[in-house]
Structure 1
Amino acid sequence: MGLIEKLVSLVFGSGRNVIVETAEVFRENTEADARRRTDERAQALEQFATEFGVRERGRFDRIMDGMNRLPRPALAMGTLGLFIAAMADPVWFAARMQGVALVPEPLWWLLGVVVSFYFGARHQFKGQEFQRSIASTLARTPQVMANLNTLEGVTADFATAADRPAIMSAETDPNAALDEWRRGRRA
């Protein structure tokens, strides 16, 4: 017994498992890898939540956001208005377009740059806002999963509670047909 005990304590003694430790030299521990990946994801979500956190918006920010929403609808409605004006009063429209034809080419380039930068900056701002909303949604995922698990537990409790009266009534209510069937099965 002493030799076997010494051999077992050599391999598995003092809370160590030499076989597992040796195997982990050649193959990564899957459970530890999953734990590391989960920690990494949680840290990334936490970083996103702090980076893209929703800040309190003041009156000025709300006014500027409202002003930033005006140019695109104004451009679209203005273009439709030009088509309507061309059909309603072609002479008036032609006179206005003669004025536009006199605009020098560098001014058209400048207008193109301003509009491009405006819409490009707006696109970038909205893209960052979208990333913020995704980060906050992902940060709420663990709480949502916990709520779903709680709801599933409550649903299971209701299902077992709903089955109880039927089971109780089957045991306590005499059923002549069932009793006769049971007697026939025993015979």
Structure 2
Amino acid sequence: MSARQVGELFCGLIEACDDINAAVSLFLSVNLPEILADIDKRLAGADTAAADTRAELQKSEAARARIDSLISQLSGQSLAAPLRVDIISAPRTVTLANPVRQQIRARLFPSFGLGSVLCMGDHQALDVSPDGFITPLRLGRSYVNAVATSDTSVYKTLCIDVVPPRCRLTASGALRLDGKGNLRLT
């Protein structure tokens, strides 16, 4: 039944009773149980939905408070500044005549920060390129610094010895030979 139909029915009831108070009293005594049942049916899930909504709101407010806490903790830190230089791989010794170029590989921690790692050597026994490739110069010891480009106070110092060529050995300890039967040197 539409609202217009209910209105027409009520106007007809007023005309039949000839008194608005009697019409309202009669209307409510006859239709009130039906109206209340309809309202209860329409609102049946509203209380449960409201309770669920309040619970979800509390969860989202707790999550928002946690995010705000993390933001305030991180806002005092410079996310771009590295904390340390981690050496991934670097040789301890380099052979003077080895044709295979050795490399120092390093990265910054945290890895999401800005900048990169620059390698700088002392040019005593070896040269090192900025990207970490090593070129032996003479026998001896050299020191190489792996430096964070975004903060030069963050670095790691490596000590690398340049040694004379050595004979390569097999796993059993015998001399290793190349395909032509010559000694293999490192």
> What TM-score do the two structures reach when normalised by structure 2?
0.27
- More helix, by proportion: 1
Structure with the bigger RCO (C-alpha within 8 Å, sep 6+) is 1
Q: Which has the higher strand share?
A: 2
When the two structures are superposed, what TM-score results if normalisation uses the length of structure 1? Answer: 0.27
